[in-house]
Amino acid sequence: MGVTTIMNSTGILDPKFAMSLTLYNTLTRQKEPFTTIEPGKVTMYCCGVTVYDYCHLGHARSYIGWDVMRRYLQWRGYQVRYVQNFTDIDDKILNRARVEGSSMQEIADRYIKAYFEDIRRLNVMDADEYPRVTQHIPAIVHLIQALETKGYAYAVDGDVYYNVQQFSEYGKLSGRKREQMQAGAGGRIAADESESKKQDPFDFALWKAAKPGEPAWDSLWGKGRPGWHIECSAMIRARLGETIDIHGGGGDLVFPHHENEIAQSEVLTGQPLARYWLHNGMVTVNGEKMSKSLGNFTTIRDLLDGKWSKYPQPLDPMVIRLFVLQAHYRKPLDFTESAITAAVHGWQTIKDALSLDLAKCNLSPEAATLDELDSQAIARFQGAMDSDFNTAAGLAVLFELAKSLKREFNQRCYQKSQELEDGQLRALSQTLAQLAVVFGLEVQAETLPVPEIDVNWIESLLQQRQQARQEKRYAESDRIRNELQAAGITLMDQPDGQTSWHRS
């Protein structure tokens, strides 16, 4: 194991250890070396939530993923400016306001507050800015006017539409040909309200004429409100400029939302809207799309508060983070009871290692103050993450470190022997702590009383496990070990065949 100082005083990777970061770009459909507009700085925009309901597991998957990308880029030494919007004007928000006898702003404010409550519990860092659509109406109107002036937009009875035929590169992000595109792809507007006004079925709404009882703003075309796609184009331009380094979002946004953002923005600037387009895979539940109609819709707060029927126990937020990170961000993520159970055990392994008191190992004074890391583990971790943020492979490094730490700790405490030098043990501990922070995996303060230990129950299970091992029923032996592990009991098999245990 190589032990060396590879981090600076602020915990950032020393530049001489930097490798080549590559990202899969949806636009080019291949991995590309990552280079930024301004050296050492990253501008990053991710499409945020439409605030009409509580956040669900799909949101957790997206924002944990972007959070880890941001953390990793910072660990790599980049200054990251991260912007994530709130869509606070939308048909879904207005519908809920009507049902509840409330207002659009009251609904939006309530669920923005709920967003922060839920997402912060998952240890997702706040964005640098959270622009709202309603704060950017003048910028949106200005953008639409510019499109109309250049011949890319036309007005009909107070509505304004984008003329898709005028943009020859339309479809380059999604790879869709014209015959594959669906009419009404403007998104979030009923087809019967707009189809008769369009010059072409593929055109989409930039501005919608006011309806009775709905919020509206003044414009050259009369009172109305923005279309969905123009909102992000305007907010990116206002907050980050004409071209950004990374644009992120769910895979369901590639078409039409992100395709339309490109069409709106690039015809005005002549520049790419984003250098890299990243999209996360969708979440399924037991292989099915998550939806309220199927009865498998799961909110973040229900999971954390133990109100999910399939797993009626409060989940540690770190379990959800680890569950998300076990899959590559571009791959589908299937939410099952067994997958959550595996994540519970996985987090317990890392949590136990992060919580070890190395003072019990009688470290030498020099090792106790050592500020060095395991360079081999760092290299493996960075090699994984530099390959398009492969968190699954990165987690494997954390598990290796955690298991090595626990093994050495147990040997020293219970067998009074050791395999590693003091400095190596300290380096393992510090490396795990550093890399866990990159993944946002942190042991949170316990707030519940520690339950009493049922020693008779533990000893009974140990006897059953010992018999299973003697009879070579190893699956049963592992099952008992896992059951005890879930109860906070760590087993240590001795060379003489006996097993000792201690509370994690």
Fold held by 40-289: Rossmann fold (3.40.50)
Could you tell me the pTM of the whole model? 0.84
What's the pLDDT tens digit per position in 207-252?
A: 999 999 899 999 999 999 999 999 999 999 999 999 999 999 999 9
Distance CA 433, CA 398 (A): 9
Question: 1-33+357-448 and 40-289: same fold?
Answer: no
Residue holding tokens 């309901």? 53
What's the pLDDT tens digit per position in 306-362?
A: 887 777 789 999 999 999 999 999 999 999 989 999 999 999 999 999 999 888 888
**11-25, 182-196, 228-242, 298-312: which is most confident:** 228-242
Of 197 and 179, the one with more pLDDT? 197
SS (H, E, C) 318-372: HHHHHHHHCCCCCCCEEECHHHHHHHHHHHHHHHHHHCCCHHHHCCCHHHHCCCC
Domain edges within the chain: 1-33+357-448, 40-289, 453-504
DSSP string, 392-435: HHHHHHHHHHHHHHHHHHHIIIIIS--SS-HHHHHHHHHHHHHH
In this predicted structure, the answer to whether residue 494 has a pLDDT above a threshold of 80 is no
> What is the model's pLDDT at position 24?
98
Report whether 166 contacts 152 (CB < 8 A).
yes
Q: Which CATH number fits domain 1-33+357-448: 3.30.70.100, 2.40.50.140, 3.40.50.720, 1.20.120.640?
A: 1.20.120.640
Using CA atoms, how far residue 108 sits from 47, 118, 211, in Å, is 16, 15, 19
Report whether 48 contacts 83 (CB < 8 A).
no
Going by C-alpha positions, the residue among 24, 18, 7 that lies closest to residue 331 is 24
The region of weakest confidence among 36-50, 298-312, 459-473, 483-497 is 483-497
Residue 448 is encoded by which pair of tokens?
Answer: 């519940």
> What is the model's pLDDT at position 109?
96
254-269: average pLDDT? 97
In this predicted structure, the answer to whether residue 8 has a pLDDT above a threshold of 60 is no
